[in-house]
A and B are shown apart, each in its own frame.
Chain A
Amino acid sequence: MTSRQEIFDVVVVGSGAGGAPVATLLAEAGARVLVLEKGPYYSLRDLTHDEIAICRRDFFVPFAADDPHVVRRGANADPERTRDGWTSQCVGGGTVHMSGFWYRLHEEDLRLATLTGGITGADLADWPITLAELTPFYDLAETRLGVSGIAGLNPFEPQRRPFPLPPLQPHPAATLIDEAARSLGLHSYPTARAILSQSFGVRPPCNYCGRCGEYGCENGSKSSVLAALIPRAEATGRCEVRAECMVRRIESDGDRVTGVEFIDRRGETQFVGARVVVVAASAIESARLLLLSETSRFPHGLANSSGLVGKNLTFSTFGKGTGIFDRRTLGERLGPEGMDLPFLLRSIQDHYWLPNTGLALPKGGTYNFLFHHPNPINAAMRLVGDSGFELMGEELRERLRQYFRDELWMEFEIFGEFLPTAKTYVDLDPVVKDRHGQAAARLTVEHHPADVETNTHMMKRGLEVLAAVKPTAREVKAWTWGSTTFHLQHGTCRFGRDPTRSVLDPWCRAHDLENLYVTDGSFMPTSGGVPATPTILANSFRVGAAIVERFRRRELG
């Protein structure tokens, strides 16, 4: 049954980092807001530490058999049905299971085209806004969500105000990272986290269980939008969150959107009208939704007169190095106090900008030093996987015992730029459908060679830090480099001033439609040298504030 009787001021598609801030600001300003979320609405009680259910099944990400994406590693490669490219399906989106590492972009991230003069094969574009315009909204995001850290210790960090909460307590091994970094002339600093170090309103402080990444926080201490924003939005009485509602099409009439069609939890098709539609379903799924919403006016997808919807898809170029340390030796060096704390909390950004290295992409990104994830099944699979699945039998059993009892793995992750090119994009798969019969998103992915070259350079520098730690590691090794982090996705509706080279204007409004916005990572012309979630949150607040002003000026009917 289709109902055309409900009309909202704003319909927000997606309830994660891109959707929740907009919805919250608008509801607080008096707008009547409907948030439609494809996934379920988990309560804190649902967020257990069951590694199998939460991390290894479909709690957050659907099985490929149920809701596939298609990935091909190059336009001529065989396509493969996969779960890759889904960030999360639940109210709160990816912020529910994020680790909460908190970084801001640097000025170089917003000016990569100008600073490099262009990179052959990359479709670079500067951002149409400055870091100074985004900074107040980073501040707002930190204040509204609750972010713990200490400013002023990273000489490469853009100027910023103090964090709203003091830093979390690190494991004593953080001092070893500091010593190693200093010995190499580098500047390690405490990593900020979207995790509460103190009580924050009604939310309690972190209990240091160490299961931030891949899990939801049953304590409410991780600053997901589920914990920090959605309740505030609903408390206004003007924001309704409808879970298990899959938006299948955005309806439009001329140069205005009129509402959205969605499939509700009973499987029935519904329509709601809207004065404004904000799409924030993740860069891949937002592009897919626009492509599926074609009309005679927009035959290549809604808001796609530029032809760029789905193009310039970027991820983060990822690397990970591992240092295997002897737990007893570390204990003798550091003493017993704090040895069960789960967070290492050290980052290095000395190699963020690499002007004199001869690299085609002179931007390395961020080293995030952390412990190997505490999940025991994941650890066991890592050991077996690293052996090419040859490790088995008593040798496996003994290796497990050795890993869990004797070893402490300190690692670093590199988040590097993924250059936008014509070879990486989202379109609609010609064959594979989702369970509602709509074309699935097809991801065509190829790294620009410069990504891999720079990431390889960064890997070597990062391994030097682990190798410099005293007491010396049993082993220091690279685990992966030049890899693709599918859950960090951007670029498919890039913003800019030129309607022929961008989908959105500087306020993330579609050039083609005056009341359509896109506020997930789609807007980002470049991926940056840090994980993008804080930037998506900040920008969503920025755009939300702008939409509030448009309503106040009565520009939105």
Chain B
Amino acid sequence: MITRRQIITGLAASGAMAFWPRRRLAAQGWLASLPQESAPALAAAVDRILPGATAAGALSFIEYWVARPAFIHLKRDLMVATLVMNRLAGQRHGKPFAACAPADQDAILSSLRDRQTSAGRFDSRLVYERLVSLTLESFLGDPKYGGNRDQVGWRLAGVQHCWYAPKRVRRRTGLPY
């Protein structure tokens, strides 16, 4: 007897992915416009927050969202965050953030989280929380935004969706969604 689990797994393997929207929503080149060492700092920070996040597409995800009008302040805040991270890395270790040892990177991120650094009206704690949110969204959100490549996050979470599957597929397979 074919089990529901086999149906779900089989669909995923056999190309039910064909029902996922293949298009990737366009990025806007924000990363390329950042000051030198900022994009590597952002990538390193994201990977310290959640190892594997950049490989899963976190930067593409972030680049997509900071291009939305509602996120214009986040674009600025993330840039300032990378400048602050690189400044602290330079002061403490004489190198950019991305070149620091992991433990040193974690300590710098802790400084942001614990508001041990300041830069005008920049609230490092708030921006750190937003960066964590973006990282987790990129890993566990819909792949169409550029993250969660090959559904790596959903496979870790055991999430089983095919909500874009047409109704005829859902009726045939008995899948609830």
Task: Mark A residues whose CB is within 8 Å of B.
Answer: 48-53, 56-58, 63, 65-66, 207-209, 211, 376-377, 379-381, 384, 389-390, 392-394, 396-397, 400-401, 404-405
User: Is A209 within 8 A of B157, CB to CB?
Assistant: no
In whole angstroms, what is the CA distance A474 to B152 when docked? 28
13 further interface pairs, Cβ-Cβ under 8 Å (given A53-B142, A376-B153, A404-B157): A51-B140, A65-B70, A208-B176, A211-B177, A376-B140, A376-B159, A379-B157, A380-B136, A384-B136, A392-B109, A392-B132, A394-B51, A397-B51
**B159 nearest CB across to chain A (Å):** 6
User: Is B142 within 8 A of A51, CB to CB?
Assistant: yes
In whole angstroms, what is the CA distance A466 to B153 when docked? 30
User: Is A52 within 8 A of B157, CB to CB?
Assistant: no
User: Is A52 within 8 A of B136, CB to CB?
Assistant: no
User: Is A392 within 8 A of B70, CB to CB?
Assistant: no
- Contacts A66-B70, A392-B50, A393-B51 given; does A52 touch B141 at CB 8 Å: yes
13 contacting pairs across A/B (C-beta < 8 A): A57-B70, A66-B70, A209-B163, A376-B154, A380-B140, A381-B133, A389-B128, A389-B129, A392-B48, A393-B51, A396-B49, A396-B50, A397-B50
In whole angstroms, what is the CA distance A207 to B165 when docked? 14
User: Is B128 within 8 A of A52, CB to CB?
Assistant: no
Pick the residue among B70, B128, B136, B163 that contacts A63 (CB under 8 A): B70
| Chain B residues whose C-beta falls within 8 Å of the C-beta of A393 in the assembled complex | 48-51, 106
In whole angstroms, what is the CA distance A400 to B51 when docked? 12
User: Is B161 within 8 A of A49, CB to CB?
Assistant: yes
User: Is A405 within 8 A of B50, CB to CB?
Assistant: no
**A401 nearest CB across to chain B (Å):** 6
User: Is B140 within 8 A of A377, CB to CB?
Assistant: yes
Counting chain B residues whose Cβ lies within 8 A of the other chain, the interface size class is 20 to 34
Number of A-B contacts (CB under 8 A): 78
User: Is B70 within 8 A of A405, CB to CB?
Assistant: no
**A447 nearest CB across to chain B (Å):** 25
In whole angstroms, what is the CA distance A33 to B83 when docked? 57
- CB-nearest residue of chain B relative to A52? B141
User: Is B141 within 8 A of A400, CB to CB?
Assistant: no
In whole angstroms, what is the CA distance A389 to B106 when docked? 12
| Chain A residues whose C-beta falls within 8 Å of the C-beta of B49 in the assembled complex | 392-393, 396
| Chain B residues whose C-beta falls within 8 Å of the C-beta of A53 in the assembled complex | 142
- CB-nearest residue of chain B relative to A374? B159
User: Is A50 within 8 A of B48, CB to CB?
Assistant: no
Taking CB atoms and an 8 Å cut-off, the chain B residues in 107-161 that contact chain A are 109, 113, 128-129, 132-133, 136-137, 139-142, 145, 153-154, 156-159, 161
Pick the residue among A48, A49, A65, A377 that contacts B136 (CB under 8 A): A377
- CB-nearest residue of chain B relative to A50? B142
| Chain A residues whose C-beta falls within 8 Å of the C-beta of B70 in the assembled complex | 57-58, 63, 65-66
| Chain B residues whose C-beta falls within 8 Å of the C-beta of A400 in the assembled complex | 156-157
- Contacts A404-B156, A404-B157 given; does A49 touch B48 at CB 8 Å: no
User: Is A209 within 8 A of B176, CB to CB?
Assistant: yes
In whole angstroms, what is the CA distance A429 to B50 when docked? 41
In whole angstroms, what is the CA distance A400 to B53 when docked? 13
**A224 nearest CB across to chain B (Å):** 18
- Contacts A392-B48, A397-B52, A400-B156 given; does A381 touch B136 at CB 8 Å: yes
- Contacts A389-B129, A392-B109 given; does A48 touch B163 at CB 8 Å: yes
| Chain A residues whose C-beta falls within 8 Å of the C-beta of B109 in the assembled complex | 392
**B65 nearest CB across to chain A (Å):** 9
- CB-nearest residue of chain B relative to A63? B70
**A367 nearest CB across to chain B (Å):** 28
User: Is B163 within 8 A of A389, CB to CB?
Assistant: no
| Chain A residues whose C-beta falls within 8 Å of the C-beta of B158 in the assembled complex | 404-405
Give B40-68 as 1s and 0s: 1 = Cβ < 8 Å from A's Cβ atoms: 00000000111110000000000000000
| Chain A residues whose C-beta falls within 8 Å of the C-beta of B157 in the assembled complex | 376, 379, 400, 404
In whole angstroms, what is the CA distance A61 to B156 when docked? 30
- Contacts A377-B136, A392-B50 given; does A49 touch B128 at CB 8 Å: no
Taking CB atoms and an 8 Å cut-off, the chain B residues in 71-89 that contact chain A are 73
Nearest 8 pairs of A and B residues by beta carbon: A209-B177, A404-B157, A376-B140, A207-B176, A52-B141, A380-B136, A49-B163, A376-B157
**A386 nearest CB across to chain B (Å):** 13
In whole angstroms, what is the CA distance A48 to B177 when docked? 10
- CB-nearest residue of chain B relative to A404? B157
In whole angstroms, what is the CA distance A285 to B129 when docked? 30
User: Is B141 within 8 A of A49, CB to CB?
Assistant: no
User: Is B156 within 8 A of A389, CB to CB?
Assistant: no
Pick the residue among A63, A377, A392 that contacts B141 (CB under 8 A): A377
- CB-nearest residue of chain A relative to B48? A393
**A551 nearest CB across to chain B (Å):** 42
- CB-nearest residue of chain A relative to B153? A376
**B66 nearest CB across to chain A (Å):** 13
User: Is B128 within 8 A of A56, CB to CB?
Assistant: no
In whole angstroms, what is the CA distance A66 to B159 when docked? 33
- CB-nearest residue of chain A relative to B102? A393
In whole angstroms, what is the CA distance A211 to B163 when docked? 11
**B10 nearest CB across to chain A (Å):** 17
| Chain B residues whose C-beta falls within 8 Å of the C-beta of A50 in the assembled complex | 141-142
User: Is A52 within 8 A of B142, CB to CB?
Assistant: yes
| Chain B residues whose C-beta falls within 8 Å of the C-beta of A380 in the assembled complex | 136, 139-140
- CB-nearest residue of chain B relative to A206? B176
